[in-house]
Amino acid sequence: MNKEQLKKKVGQRIVELRSQKGWSQSDLARACNKDRQAIEKLENGKVNPTLYTLLEVANALEVSLRNLINF
């Protein structure tokens, strides 16, 4: 798996978990103190998130970091 594929996989996983909660991108953005555009870029694999950003998203979604990147 290359870098681009990994970013897309992480983004897809975030969409999946967010959708399970019935949240919009704006809901997730508010929960982790980001703006909606940042969440959109993350979900679309346009950015390479830091480990801390992934932890913030996992915490907001109430899942472990391991669960967030389990694909």
Cα(16)–Cα(14) distance, integer angstroms: 5
| pTM confidence score | 0.93
Please tell me the CATH superfamily of domain 3-68, with its number: lambda repressor-like DNA-binding domains (1.10.260.40)
pLDDT computed for residue 12 by the predictor: 97
For 54, residues 6+ apart whose C-beta sits below 8 A from its C-beta are 10, 65, 68, 69
In the predicted structure, residue 68 carries a pLDDT above the cut 90: yes
pLDDT tens, position by position, 14-66: 999 999 999 999 999 999 999 999 999 999 999 999 999 999 999 999 999 99
In the predicted structure, residue 71 carries a pLDDT above the cut 80: no
* Structural domain spans, the chain: 3-68
- Quote the Cα angle for 31-34-40, to 5°: 100
